[in-house]
Amino acid sequence: MSQVEPEPEPEFRGILPGTKSSSFYSWRKPGMRVTDFPTVQSYIEYITDMFMDSIDPTSKIQPEIPASLYAVPSPIQQQTWLYYNMRHFVMEIGQLAGELDTICTIQTCPKMKATNEWQFLCSSHPKATECCAIDYTTHTIEAILSLLDSRQLFPNRDVISTKSNDTFNSMARRLYRIFAHVYFNHRNVYDEFESRTRLCDRYTAFCRQFSLVPEDNFKEELEKRKGPSSTTSSTSSGSSFPSIHSKRHR
């Protein structure tokens, strides 16, 4: 009977209590590499969980999203990194959409808009359509998941052509509008979800890092160009701002 060598103790790769969030990612770097994971997707889940664990939802001041969070890990190709992150973000945005259940309806939000000046058409149809906000949200999530699953568009996920850049840009822009809608129209849902997940902050950091969404699409820019409120409940002068001023974007 042969002697079986005892398995060596696995190297500790967690975060010790009291680790400062600033030293958190420096710990991750040499510790866990993407090649330590069975899939790129599982590595992204890991770094996302690590980041989530560093969030104190009760704190008023949240740390900046570290640039290292979405740095392309060697030896992964940038397009592959974009692909898997996009996939992960769509899933997370699906959770945000779940929070809108019964809150965002065809009655509350018959149009997909950010501010009153920015209304968006839904491109998830053969011809861009004016879907209500919750339909835009679900149609966009479903359409993007099916694009990501397309073997025609992405036959080999380890080697993705830079020709896919336009596809990623379009996906990223359409998904960002969901955040803009929630931010400007369901602020309490946005704030509560964001305090738990920093999803919009992370997604914005990711989009900026890879120039996926034009700067003037981000909510801070939309806020700056926001006109006076045009709520229909106004009883004063009746000079509401008609939707003919709306800019419609595909």
Site residues for Zn ion per CB under 5 A: 104, 109, 122, 124, 131, 133, 139, 185
Please give the backbone phi and psi of residue 141, each rounded to the nearest 5 degrees, phi first.
Answer: -60, -45
| C-beta closer to Zn ion: residue 127 or 163 | 127
CB of residue 100 vs Zn ion: minimum separation in angstroms?
Answer: 6
Two tokens, residue 222: 């939309």
| C-beta closer to Zn ion: residue 104 or 222 | 104
Q: Are 100 and 182 in contact (CB under 8 A)?
A: yes
| C-beta closer to Zn ion: residue 124 or 217 | 124
Q: Are 129 and 121 in contact (CB under 8 A)?
A: yes
CB of residue 125 vs Zn ion: minimum separation in angstroms?
Answer: 6
| C-beta closer to Zn ion: residue 88 or 139 | 139
| C-beta closer to Zn ion: residue 18 or 98 | 98
CB of residue 201 vs Zn ion: minimum separation in angstroms?
Answer: 20
CB of residue 14 vs Zn ion: minimum separation in angstroms?
Answer: 40
Per the listing, tokens 């992960």 go with 88
CB of residue 107 vs Zn ion: minimum separation in angstroms?
Answer: 10
| C-beta closer to Zn ion: residue 70 or 179 | 179
CB of residue 196 vs Zn ion: minimum separation in angstroms?
Answer: 19
